[in-house]
């Protein structure tokens, strides 16, 4: 039968493992948000190029994809606790994507 010290040691190890998993999960969620923002910007820029080339159906499709990526990023971001330089970097990307989406909405 395990004694108190063994149980205490195991408890500390489990707690550290849980913290590591939580930190990893937060990193992955933040990576997802950043990927969605980058993807959204790519779709928005492609939509603008398609629109200027007269490919209106393609422009609309890419604009929809950009909006979907923006919404997904905002939804996940609302659940995250972002710290350090991350909030500023994400705010810049959100601002850029928001600006691109505004440009697209003005073209319709």
- Mark 16-42 as b/e (b = at least 16 C-beta within 10 Å): eeeeeeeeeeeeebbeebbebbebbbb
Domain ranges of the chain: 31-107
More confident residue, 82 or 55: 55
Q: State which fold the 31-107 domain adopts.
A: 1.20.120
* pTM attached to this predicted model: 0.82
Q: Residue 18 above 80 pLDDT?
A: yes
Give the model confidence (pLDDT) of 21-79 as tens digits. Answer: 988 988 899 999 999 999 999 999 999 999 999 999 999 999 999 999 999 999 998 88
More confident residue, 10 or 48: 48
């Amino acid at each position: 039968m395990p004694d108190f010290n063994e149980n205490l040691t195991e408890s500390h190890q489990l707690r550290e493992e849980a913290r590591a998993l939580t930190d990893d999960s937060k990193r992955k969620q933040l990576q997802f948000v950043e990927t969605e923002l980058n993807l959204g910007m790519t779709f928005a820029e492609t939509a603008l190029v398609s629109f200027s080339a007269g490919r209106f159906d393609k422009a609309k499709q890419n604009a929809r994809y950009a909006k979907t990526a923006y919404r997904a990023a905002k939804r996940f971001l609302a659940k995250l606790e972002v710290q350090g330089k991350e909030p500023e970097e994400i705010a810049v990307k959100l601002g850029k994507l928001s600006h691109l989406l505004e440009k697209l909405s003005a073209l319709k």
